[in-house]
Amino acid sequence: MTASAHRPERPERPERPERPERPERPERPERPERPERPERPERPECSGHPEHPGPTTLLVIAKEPVPGRVKTRLTPPFTPDEAAELAEAALYDTLQAVRAIPARRRAIVLDGRPGDWLPDGFEVRQQESGGLDERLAAAFAGSTGPTLLIGMDTPQVTPQLLAPALDFDAWDGCDAWFGAAEDGGFWALGLAVPDPRLLRGVPMSTSRTGAAQRARLTAAGLRVRDLPPLRDVDTAGDAERVAAAAPAGRFAATLARLTPVTGR
């Protein structure tokens, strides 16, 4: 028999060190509450105060009041100089009414040069050449966004008369505003989207001009709202009626001053 070899004993494994405890995760800070959105301020009413501009650009198409170039149908009975004085007074009253009402921009589209009658707050744009339809079309072509154009022959116009077409909701469900003149023309035209094609080719200075222009708008599928009809100042009789309708204006005062002197 052979003797068996002696196996050495295995050394004991050292104990594994205990794993350190994981530190507790810090609690996530609570998200701050979102601040409430402030309520939108109410739209100011069309109160006629220039510090609350509305969405509409206001244009006044006019001629420089030069004797012999303006209000020629007032001569006779008035002299060319007197007719120019009345034209300047009519323009002054018109611009004051426009200046007193909220508007995105105000501009005078002028044939001629500005004078002392032009108040602050107006851009001056030169009229294009051509017939009246082309000049009106060009005035709208030079504007963007809702635009209302009026003339200088209705000095009895007031902010209250213009307000419906200049309020913040004036163009809700409306594409055009139209103000007919009592002589068959029109004294105001507003377009939500200025398109000169709506004016080109419309026969001007006739007793059917207003009807033709309004028909052009409706034929184009526009939704039209109306402003009150007004009388243009073309003749001496017109001047008397308009002055009576707005006795506190400069136009009425100028007419009263000129009439006794000339005996008319």
Q: Is pTM beyond 0.85 here? A: no
Question: At 54, is the pLDDT very low, low, confident or very high (cuts 50, 70, 90)?
Answer: confident
- Checking if the pLDDT of 118 tops 90, the result is yes
Question: 């116009």: which residue's tokens?
Answer: 157
**Chain center to CA of 148:** 6
C-alpha to C-alpha distance for 65 and 112, rounded to whole angstroms: 9
CB distance 59 to 165 below 8 Å: no
Specify the range with the lowest mean pLDDT, choosing from 5-14, 28-37, 124-133: 28-37
User: Region 235-259: what's the mean pLDDT?
Assistant: 97
Angle 184-185-190 (CA atoms, 0-180°, nearest 5)? 135
Alpha helix stretches (DSSP H) within the chain: 80-99, 132-141, 159-162, 209-219, 236-245, 250-262
- Checking if the pLDDT of 12 tops 80, the result is no
Question: At 225, is the pLDDT very low, low, confident or very high (cuts 50, 70, 90)?
Answer: very high
